Each structure stands twice: as structure tokens, then as C-alpha cells.
Amino acid sequence: MHDRTWKVGWPLAFVLLAAACRDAPEQGALPQSVTDFAAGTSCRTPPSQPVEIKGGSFLMGSNAIYAEEGPPRETRVDGFWIDPHEVTNRQFAAFVKSTGHVSVAEKPVDPAQFGVPLEQIPAYMLEPGSAVFTPPARPSRSYADWWDYVPGANWKKPYGPNGPDGVPDEPVVHLAWDDMQAYAKWRGGRLPTEAEWEYAASAGAPKYVAQPDPARANTWQGVFPVVNEAKDGFKGIAPVGCFAPNAFGLYDIVGNVWEVTSDLYRPGHDPANHDNPRGPGENNAYDPLDPGRISRVMKGGSYLCAPNYCQRYRPESRQGRDPGLGASNVGFRVVYEGQPESASSGTMVRNGKPSSWNTN
Ligand SMILES: [Ca+2]
Ligand SMILES: [Ca+2]
């Protein structure tokens, strides 16, 4: 195992992923290995045709739980199109096959990003790799106890070189911002703004604060990080489409994996910025959990969000995300300015009025 002292000193990504830790977890049953977190279950893959979201207004943000989500304010969003599910390994593999793209996690790490002399950097941390959630051997409140930098972990080998291959219908993870951008451009789209994402995730439904029912989203039931009851059927990541879509027909938009947006991160919303907001500029971006770096906003929580730890299984939830390092619970989905060519038939339109999902 890696040097724990060094891990605690990591300045960024692990904090970003685990910042919601507020209370000490309790003793409980322990998963035995990372392979316990492979889903091993397949679900019906939902349609991939992008869904049209008509423009409109909604109450963006919340004061209910975390200060960084407020203040709520009426916000207008222009119409757009959005993928009905998180980008999958199958989709990303098609992109790689077409373009030859090599993801950031598959390349050696630039030692300059650590800001310390080269001799102080453990060699393994300069190898290609990514951050993998690894259940701790005992209850802990320290994120450094459940995040490991694993050489050889990447989108194709999400648990590391000795783990299983990425499952085609599971969301792709371990990507950096540049990888997501490249994929979105290849698809003819882009990453959503935070406002677009939150509008689509809210789907005209009332705000809520409680953890979604296990039938509605892949989150963490039990006391994080040691008691993973998996009442929703998944200890870890789930294939897309295993849970009911929201009223706009969007699957897993809350839970499963966090979804990175194009906005730069700053705690809280600017009340004056409510017409198609695109987040703060670089000079105003600030992530208190990673103050030396400019983070992107990610939304909706993941399979690691539990009531005692990360109540971010809601449309309003947000955290900063290091754009340069992937992780095993962070993915994305793509939006489009106009009707994508692939959606010329079988179009699904959602206009703020909840309606049932129709695959016709
Ligand atoms: Ca779960
Ligand atoms: Ca999600």
C-alpha cells in the first residue's frame, strides 16, 4: 500500500470528492476489496437519443442543506438538448476508436503540479493512474482513508490493472476535463452549464432534501464509508438506466456518478447572474477546498453519497472538481445547442411539464 502520510498531504482531488464529511461513521460490516464494488448487474440500456429541453425559468439553488448551494433565485435557461444518460464506456470506446484519443489518466503525471521538489514525490504518483474509492479497513472520517491513487487505473480499468475491465454500459469515469471536452466536441456538443444541468435535473419537480428512495437513484444506504447496505442493488457504480428516469426522461442524473459541468466553481451563486448563467470568470473562481487551482462545478452526487456524509443526491448539489484528475465516481453527460443529427428521429421533447417517459 501507498504511503499514508503522503496521501494525507494531497492537496486537492480527494478533498473535492469527499468534502461533505461532517460526522464520524459508525462501525459496521466492511467490504473486502474494491472488486466488491463492481456492479456485476446489467440493466436495460435506455435510448441514447438526446432529449430536447425547452427553455424556461426555475428556482435555481437552495438554502436547505449546504451553504454553497445558495441563495436560491429565479433563473432563466434557454432551450437545449441533452443526453438521456451519463456517457458510457461503450460510447467513450467508440470515440477512442475513432480518434485515437489517449486520456489524461493514461499519461505520465507532470511533477510540476505537485509544487514540491521531485525527490519528495513518490514514484508511483508520477505513473499514469487515477483516484479509486477503496473502502477503509475501519471507520474513518478522513477522506484520505478511502481514496487511493492507483497507478494503471483509467477508464478501461476503473479499479486498476488487477481489477475488472470497464463495463460497456456503465458510465465512463476517470476522465479529466480535457477528455470530456474532446468527447463532447466529437459528438457535436459541449458540457452543460450548471444552470442547464440543474434545470434538467429538477424537471419541474418540487425541491427535496431527503435521500432518494432506493428505487429512484444509486446512492449509498447505510453509514458511509463502512456500512454499504446497497438497498438500491448496487454497492458501487451501476449501468446507466437501472433506475427510473426523471420527468424529463433523464436517467441517473442524480446519483450514480457526479457529472461535471462547464462552470468554474465558487461557493454560492451570484444573485445578479440569473439569465442563462455561466458561472464566475477565472478571476472570481475559488474553491476553498483546493484554493491553488481553478475547479469546475460537478453536480448531483454519486453512489458514495449517504445521509451521514454527503447529502448531495439532489439537483441543487454542487462541488468543485479538479479538472486534471479523474476519479472512480465522476462522469459527465453532453448537451447540444440544436437538434443533434442522431436525434432526427425518435425525438423526445420535455418542456418543464412532467410527463411519462416514452421510448417511441
Ligand atoms: Ca448504491
Ligand atoms: Ca449522475
Q: What is the pLDDT of residues 44-74, one digit of tens each?
A: 778 899 999 999 999 999 999 999 999 999 9
| DSSP one-letter string for 334-348 | -EESS--GGGSSS-E
Q: Residue 28 domain-assigned?
A: no
Full residue range of the structural domain in which residue 266 is found: 1-23+34-360
State the distance from the centre of ligand 2 to the C-alpha of 174, rounded, in angstroms.
14
Closest-CA residue to 267 (of 325, 323, 318): 318
State the distance from the centre of ligand 1 to the C-alpha of 183, rounded, in angstroms.
27
State the distance from the centre of ligand 2 to the C-alpha of 335, rounded, in angstroms.
14
Instruction: Starting from the CA of residue 252, give the closest ligand.
Output: 2
State the distance from the centre of ligand 2 to the C-alpha of 299, rounded, in angstroms.
8
Instruction: Starting from the CA of residue 200, give the closest ligand.
Output: 2
State the distance from the centre of ligand 1 to the C-alpha of 333, rounded, in angstroms.
20
Average pLDDT, the chain: 85
pLDDT value at position 42? 67
State the distance from the centre of ligand 2 to the C-alpha of 89, rounded, in angstroms.
14
Q: Residue 258 domain-assigned?
A: yes
**CATH number, domain containing residue 42:** 3.90.1580.10
Look at the alpha carbons of 104, 105, 107, 109 in this order and tell me if their dihedral is positive or negative: positive
Query: Contact at 8 Å (CB) between 193 and 262?
Result: yes
Closest-CA residue to 296 (of 266, 252, 329, 273): 266
Q: Residue 195 domain-assigned?
A: yes
> What are 87-124's pLDDT values in tens digits?
999 999 999 999 999 999 999 999 988 888 999 999 99
Query: Contact at 8 Å (CB) between 174 and 153?
Result: yes
pLDDT value at position 114? 84
Q: Residue 60 domain-assigned?
A: yes
State the distance from the centre of ligand 2 to the C-alpha of 49, rounded, in angstroms.
17
In this prediction, residue 344 has a pLDDT band, given cuts at 50, 70 and 90, of: very low
State the distance from the centre of ligand 2 to the C-alpha of 301, rounded, in angstroms.
7
Three cell numbers, residue 232: 438500491
- Angle, alpha carbons 184-186-190 (nearest 5°): 25
Instruction: Starting from the CA of residue 329, give the closest ligand.
Output: 2
pLDDT reading at 34 higher than 50: no
Q: What is the pTM of this model?
A: 0.87
Q: Residue 104 domain-assigned?
A: yes
What percentage of the chain exceeds 90 in pLDDT? Answer: 74
State the distance from the centre of ligand 2 to the C-alpha of 212, rounded, in angstroms.
13
Q: Distance between the two ends of the chain, CA-based, in angstroms?
A: 51
Closest-CA residue to 53 (of 340, 342, 330): 340
Q: How many domains does the chain have?
A: 1
State the distance from the centre of ligand 2 to the C-alpha of 342, rounded, in angstroms.
22
| 31/106: higher pLDDT | 106
Query: Contact at 8 Å (CB) between 171 and 87?
Result: yes
pLDDT value at position 278? 97
Instruction: Starting from the CA of residue 237, give the closest ligand.
Output: 1
pLDDT reading at 6 higher than 70: no
| DSSP one-letter string for 196-250 | HHHHHHHTTPPP--SPPPTTT-----SSTTT----TTS-SS---TTSS---TTS-
> What are 236-291's pLDDT values in tens digits?
999 999 999 999 999 999 999 999 999 999 999 999 999 999 999 999 999 998 88
Look at the alpha carbons of 96, 101, 104, 105 in this order and tell me if their dihedral is positive or negative: positive
Q: Residue 29 domain-assigned?
A: no
Dist. CA 28–CA 136, nearest whole Å = 11
Query: Contact at 8 Å (CB) between 12 and 322?
Result: yes
Query: Contact at 8 Å (CB) between 152 and 130?
Result: no
Measured in degrees and rounded to the nearest 5, phi and psi for residue 80 equal -160, 175
Q: Residue 338 domain-assigned?
A: yes
State the distance from the centre of ligand 2 to the C-alpha of 28, rounded, in angstroms.
27
Q: Angle 177-186/89-99 helices, nearest 10 degrees?
A: 80
State the distance from the centre of ligand 2 to the C-alpha of 195, rounded, in angstroms.
15
> What are 179-221's pLDDT values in tens digits?
999 999 999 999 999 999 999 999 999 999 999 999 999 999 9
State the distance from the centre of ligand 2 to the C-alpha of 312, rounded, in angstroms.
11
pLDDT reading at 24 higher than 80: no
DSSP-derived letter for residue 172 is P
**Which of 1-10, 150-159, 168-177, 318-327 shows the lowest per-residue confidence on average (mean pLDDT)?**
1-10
pLDDT value at position 101? 98
